[in-house]
Structure 1
Amino acid sequence: MPPRNHPSERQRRLGAELRKLRTRARMSGDEAGALLDADRTRVSHIEAGRVDVPRNGLYKLLRAYGCPDGPYFEALMEMAQSRGVGWWDEFRDVMARVALDLAEVESRATSIRIHEPLCIPGMFQTEEYAHTVMEAVSPDIGPTDRFVQFRMARQRVLAGESSIPFHAVIHEAALRVRVGGPEIMRKQMRKLIEVARMPNVTIQIFPFERGAYPAFSRPFVLFGGPTRELDTVYIEHSLKIDFLGDGADVDDYSKMFERLVDLALGPVDPETAPESHIGRDSLSLIQHAMYEL
C-alpha cells in the first residue's frame, strides 16, 4: 500500500512518539528498519504517520527502543491498532481533516482544559450561537446546518458514561461580544450555567479588570492523554491549526492554564444561593452580562 498523503493526528502522533523513542535509544533508521525487515525509508514513513506498522513490528520496535511495560507502552500499541472510526465519519463530506482529527482527539482524551478569549467554546455553544458565529467568520461556507450538527455532536464528550473532566477559563469579552441578537446571547448564557451543573464541568470567567494576562488573546486546549507522555496541546492560529505533543510545550501551556485558573473568578456554582455569594464570582458576572442585554 502506498504511503498516505494526509495522515490523521493520531497516526502522526504515533509516528512522532516512535521517532522520539528511537532517537533516545540512539538507533539509526537502518537499525530500526532491520527489525522490520525493511529499509530506512519505510521507517521514515512510519515516523511521519504515512504508513502503518503491524502489531508485531511495533512490539519489536518498542522493545528495542527500551520502552518499559506499562500504560505508555499499551497506549502506543492501542494507537497503532485503532482504525480511527467514530461518529465523525458521517461528516467527512463537509468537514476538513483537521476538524475530524479534533473530534477523534476529543473522543480519546481523559481530560480537557480550555482557554477561550473571544467567544463561547464550541463545547458549550447553542445551535443559534454556533450558526451565527459560523456565518460571520466564514460567510462563503454556504449552508451551515451540517457544520453546526458536527459542533453539536462534539458536545457528547461532556456527558454520558464516558464523560471526562472539563475545565474552561473564558474571558469576559466572550460574554460581551454580541453574537446575534440579545435573545441568542441570553439563551447562550443560560446554557453556560446549565452546563456548569454537570459534575465534571468547571467554568471560570476571567474579568476585564484583571488587565493583561497569561495567554493574552490566545485560545488553546489541553487534552489529557492515557498517559502524561501523550498529552496534547491544540492551538488555533489565524491561518493554521497546530497539535503540539512535545513535553516542554505541554508543560508550558499547563503552567499558563494554572495561572489563568488562579487569576480568574471563582467557578460557576449554579446551586449556590445568590445571598451566599461573597464578592463577585463567575456566576454573578455571567448573570450581570445577561441582564444587561
Structure 2
Amino acid sequence: MAPGSTPTIRQRRFGLELRRLREAAGLSAPAAATALGTDRTNISNIEAGRYGISEERVRRLASIYECNDAALVDTLASMTGGRKPGWWDEYRGKVPPGHLDISEIEHYAVRLRTLQTSHLPGLFQTEDHARAIYELVVPRLPRLEVELRIAHRLARQGVLAGDEPTPYTGIIHEAALRMQFGGRDVSRAQLRHLLAENERENVTLLVIPFANGAFPMVGDSILYAEADNQHFDTAHMDSPTGPFFFDLPTQLENFRLRLDLVEQAALTAKQSADFIRAVERDL
C-alpha cells in the first residue's frame, strides 16, 4: 500500500486521535504494529494521516489500546472507508491548501461558530465584496488566482443551504460592518445580502457595537467547527502566513469558553438585525 497524497486536516486529525489512544495505552508504535499484524512504518503512516485504514482495523486498534469510549471509536470508524473526494478537491493545486482544509472542516461540522472583528464572515461575502478583499492582497495576486479564490469562497457557502444546512452562529463586530471594501455601493449590497442570509432558520448573526466596549478576543477572528464527537472539534484562526488549526482538548475548551463570553457581550439576534439595517442606511 503506497502512501496517499498530502493528508488533509481531517485525515491528520484521524491519525492524531489514533496516536493519542496508543500513547494513552502506553504502547510504542512497534508494539502496536506487532499486535495488529503489520509493521511500524504502517502505524506511523496511519498516525500521520498518509494511509487509509479499514473500519475493522480501526476497531481492532481500539481494542488493542483498550479504549472504552464507544462514541469515539464509532466516530473513528465512520471516518474510514476510503478517501472520497469532496467538492473542494476541484480546487486542489489552484488555491492554497489551507483554504481546502477550511472547506473540509466546514463540510463535516455539525455546527459552526465564528467571530469576525474586521472582516465579514466568508460564508456570507458577496462576489464583489470578496473580489475587493483579494485585490488588496500584497503582493498583488494574478487575476486567475483571484477568480479561483472567489469561486472557492462562494462554493463554501453551500453548507448553509440545502436539505440539511449547518447551524451557524456568527458574531460580528461593528468595525467589520462599517469597513467598506469596494466602495459604498458594494458595501450596501453586501449588508443587504447579510440581512437576507440572516433570515435562514439555521443562521444567527450577533453584533457587538463599539458602544459595548472591550470583550474577550477583541481583535481576533476565529472559526470554531463542532463535530459529532467533541474530540474532533477544530478551531481555526487566520494569520498573514496562513491558517492555524487548534485541536488540543485544552485549547478547544478555552475557545468554547471565550466564544460563550463574547456572545454575552453581543446584542440579541433581533437587535443585531436592526443594527445591521441602521449601518446599511448610514452608508
CA distance in 2, matches of 1:78, 1:265: 39
CA distance in 2, matches of 1:165, 1:57: 33
Deviation per CA, 1:212-256: give whole Å up to 9, x if none: 221121111111111111111111122131222111111100001
What 5-or-longer segments of structure 1 have no aligned partner?
270-280
Q: For 1:105-144, what aligned pairs fall within 5 Å after superposition? A: 105-137=105-137, 139-143=140-144, 144=146
Deviation per CA, 1:48-95: give whole Å up to 9, x if none: 112223333222101111233643212211212241412112222412
Let me know the Cα RMSD of the aligned residues: 1.7
Q: Which residue of 266, 270, 285 corresponds with 2:275?
A: 285
Provide the residue aligned with 1:103 in structure 2. Answer: 103
Q: Secondary structure at the match of 1:290?
A: helix
Q: Secondary structure at the match of 1:12?
A: helix
- In the alignment, is the contact (CA less than 8 A) between 1:115 and 1:168 conserved in 2? yes
Provide the residue aligned with 1:147 in structure 2. Answer: 149
Provide the residue aligned with 1:220 in structure 2. Answer: 222
Residues 176 and 235 of structure 1: is their aligned pair in 2 closer, same or farther, counting only changes over 3 Å? same
Q: Which one is further off, 53-62 or 96-105? A: 53-62
Q: Which residue of 157, 161, 164 corresponds with 2:163?
A: 161
Residues 5 and 91 of structure 1: is their aligned pair in 2 closer, same or farther, counting only changes over 3 Å? closer
Relative to the length of structure 1, the TM-score reads 0.90
Provide the residue aligned with 1:275 in structure 2. Answer: none
Deviating beyond 6 angstroms after TM superposition, the runs of 4 or more aligned structure 1 residues are none
CA distance in 2, matches of 1:196, 1:37: 53
CA distance in 1, matches of 2:169, 2:188: 22
Provide the residue aligned with 2:172 in structure 1. Answer: 170
CA distance in 2, matches of 1:141, 1:31: 51
CA distance in 2, matches of 1:50, 1:200: 35
Q: Secondary structure at the match of 2:214?
A: coil
Provide the residue aligned with 2:27 in structure 1. Answer: 27
Q: Secondary structure at the match of 1:218?
A: coil
Equivalent AA in structure 2 for residue 151 of structure 1: R
Relative to the length of structure 2, the TM-score reads 0.93
Q: Tell me the CA shift for residue 124 of structure 1.
A: 0.6
Q: Which one is further off, 232-241 or 12-21? A: 232-241
Equivalent AA in structure 2 for residue 217 of structure 1: G
CA distance in 1, matches of 2:84, 2:217: 32
